[in-house]
Amino acid sequence: MKKLIVPQKYNNKKLNKFLKENIPNLSDNLFYKTLRKKDIKINGKRVSENVTIFEKDEILVYIADNLLETKIPLTIVYEDKNILLVQKSVDIEVTGEQSLLTVIHKKFTNCGFLPMPCHRLDRNTSGLILFAKNQLALDILLTKFKNHEIEKHYLALVYGIPSTPSKTMEAYLFKDRQKSLVYISDIPKKGYRKIITSYTLLEKYPNHTSLLDIEIETGKTHQIRAHLAHIGLPIVGDGKYGINRINKQMNAKFQKLMSYRLKFKFKSDAGILNYLNGKEFQLKKDSFPL
């Protein structure tokens, strides 16, 4: 059962709008099914229609939690006693409620240590995520990522053809937390942090798109997406930094960006993880949605 109090912003709005924006994963079908069963109460009275609501109304919604759960697939690419490598789909958060971490914690609930992610991917970026299965492995991997001793490569489908087949680019990034956007500058500015992004051209396509291998030395928020857009190579399907007209033409609903290769290149002792040094894990290109 969910209990909600209507805030001023929803005064004189429809019930479905308020509930869909305040109950994660509530579909239209589930909303109207719940109405038909009279499993929604407003100020103590059951309702069976999509009524108008008002500020300070108390709304009780009787929906089983399992009906609101996101069905998140768990694709394990590699696992041993210390690490877990998982392939994340698009439209899934790595952490938070109803996330990849939630599914993994349920699977490993009786294992003593709940696996923890060693890095992040944007919600709409797919690909490889590395989890540690014990505290010592987690500490080592976090240090190795910080010291750039683990290579992460991405595939990006971009609109445009790069002028040179490969390039390492330096720029400066500013994160606007309020707008959830980042901005790129070619010169240092106050509040901007240095970023380094490298690309290699893999394929060129007739529709003026190209497939790039991307490696980042610095891992800042939206770095790949914003940096590529800044140099005139926006990622296809990117709703923030891409070109909406192109996204619609190509029917691209999610950004075409995937973390597809991970390589362990330890420069110093890795303790219990030394056996990983030199190992490389890579997703097949046909798993990348062109």
Residue 70 — very low, low, confident or very high, per pLDDT cuts 50/70/90? low
pLDDT tens digits for range 143-154: 999 999 999 999
The region that residue 191 occupies, defined by phi over 0 for left and psi between -120 and 50 for alpha, beta otherwise, is left
The pLDDT score that the predictor gives to residue 97 is 74
Distance of alpha carbon 211 from the chain centroid = 20
Task: Identify the weakest region by mean pLDDT among 27-31, 84-88, 255-259.
Answer: 27-31
Identify the sign of the CA torsion 216, 220, 226, 231.
negative
The pLDDT score that the predictor gives to residue 2 is 87
Beta bridge partners of 134: none
pLDDT tens digits for range 142-185: 999 999 999 999 999 999 999 999 999 999 999 999 989 999 99
Among the options 122, 176, 186, 213, which is catalytic? Answer: 122
Residue 69 reports pLDDT greater than 70: no
Rounded CA separation 222/161 (Å): 21
Rounded CA separation 255/157 (Å): 8
Residue 213 annotated as catalytic: no
Residue 285 — very low, low, confident or very high, per pLDDT cuts 50/70/90? confident
The structural domains of the chain, ordered by start, are: 2-68 (3.10.290.10), 154-259 (3.30.2350.10)
The pTM of the full predicted model, rounded to 2 decimals, is 0.77
Residue 54 reports pLDDT greater than 70: yes
